Structure 1
């Protein structure tokens, strides 16, 4: 590594020029790793997207511009994508998980144009961690597809109305944190916890250690009976568009049929975007062979050992 980069990296923020040098260094380093040869050969466009300046910059920011750590993180993501094949997950594969509206992309964006994912934990309809992770990955891929060109982060709006102790799952929360932090670094702009019950606070204290400091700092607790809440929400959203559950004026409820049609349209766009010429076209039957090729067992892949190792990484 360039000694000047080391010096800049340790003494303060990198200059624009040094940032570009660091990005180039990560790109040239990852290209030499034999572990990513397969994705370079079978998914060249996917590899190029993840080795773009914008992508590498996200991995570097997630690792405080540490080249070695960013390379390790990016390499792990490329291997994960090669095995998990998130780009091949279609609406038909996750529709059952989605039918209650537990996670969906809203029809509105925030005032900065960022995509909004609405989450309602009380509507959890599955005991399968594997299925839950698969649907989360699908939602993340779809949200990224719909980000405007000048934005790379999204907003999570989490509605705790009706949330109970039965909705709490340490394992599901840890795997959600793993997917978000390790596979989609710097994609979360803000997570708003709206009206969480009192018993949620000690639960959050339990799972907070699994969050990297940068992620934890993006989590905001908002309460409808707090005088500051309206100001916070008004600063982020157009209240005429925001759902009434979050203090807005829109009374429209989630419609799974309409949402499914919208997702199918997005699937078609995503297939074109990813240029599937070198990839076998996915079978839309969720009970067919695609389950074996696309949906590797996340519950075993993202096990305690992996999570422990992920938490050991120094982000400072």
Structure 2
């Protein structure tokens, strides 16, 4: 069966492919990528290639270029080698952290508090964000690819806004973490935040900002929304839950150090969330210079491309204020996948 086209009011035209067609495109991307160093082979699994294809509406050339760029970025930035001691200072105030609970769909939850920003270093903020993304991905259950962001706007003001950090955040998350965001909840943002969203929206792709929802405590639907997504007993009080413990940097540091002990398994057995299928055979003797693209692929990527239907669960949040907003803007101050 050939691909069909579905029109979506939020995402534009989306390719609907059979499983056979999807696998054929995955195989085509793998062939174009070629052989990569062993340490990067995890990111060439069927699941990883599929996320890149969905992020580029199943366009093989664009997905190949996106994946090639990500492999180059990972080889240079080495996100999997970031350790707690390097980012502990950025984490001190609890501006971003992985919660000790998941949502009802089994997705890890990253809590973000822009008002707790404690750094003016764009480099430091982005590096800590990448650390948090890698940690959330490390803790994905085998049947889940995506995560949830819970953004608490308590105490947020204009001084916490940084367009520069937001732009860099959008670049890293959209280009190097495709299809990792399932849902982002902006909890009680102030009215002045909406104009900022309008300002940064051009940095984002439709699939990204359509996954982000405004939620207000005074909205009658809010309680049901949170109950549908989370176990209220485990949910933090700041989001309407019953957990009043709060963030403890000492306990969190212990959790992160324990997680870091899992990191070597990524290179010995493959990362379960990524290696949903057989990895492509690789050779460490070859470098990324061997990864070749068709000479026309760059030219075809000059513009943004619409995103495909997400394979993750994306519950809709109904609110009078329900509008799309850049997830990274919520972390404009704390350095917060194509998400």
* Structure 1 partner of 2:205: 212
Structure 1 stretches of 4+ with a deviation exceeding 4 A read: 9-12
Is contact 1:108–1:115 with CA below 8 Å preserved after alignment?
A: yes
The offset of 1:208, in angstroms, is 1.1
1:130: which partner in 2? Answer: 123
How many aligned positions are there? 269
Contact kept? 1:9, 1:65, Cα under 8 Å = no
Mapped to 2, the partners of 1:107 and 1:175 lie a distance apart of 28
Residue 8 (structure 1) aligned to one of 3, 6, 16 = 3
Match of 1:305 in 2: none
Counting only pairs closer than 5 Å after superposition, residues 70-219 of structure 1 correspond to structure 2 as: 70-219=63-212
Give deviations 1:201-253, integer Å, cap 9, x for gaps: 00011111111000011010000011011111111001111000000110011
The two structures have a TM-score, normalised by structure 2, of 0.76
3-state SS of paired residue (2:231): coil
| RMSD of aligned residue pairs (Cα, Å) | 1.8
Give CA-to-partner distance per residue, 1:121-177, whole Å, 9 cap, x none: 000000000000000000000000001000000000000000010000111111111
Give the alignment partner of residue 313 of structure 1, picking from 299, 304, 319: 304
Q: Matches of 2:228 and 2:43 in 1, distance apart?
A: 33
Match of 2:27 in 1: 24
Q: CA separation in 1, counterparts of 2:146 and 2:177?
A: 10
TM-score scaled by length of structure 1: 0.82
Question: Using the alignment, how far apart are the partners of 1:73 and 1:138 within structure 2?
Answer: 21
Q: Secondary structure at the match of 1:254?
A: coil
SS in structure 2 at match of 1:227:
coil
Higher helix share: 1
**Cα distance between partner residues in 2 of 1:176 and 1:106:** 21
**Conserved? CA contact 2:62–2:301, under 8 Å:** no
TM-superposed CA distance for 1:310, in Å, is 8.3
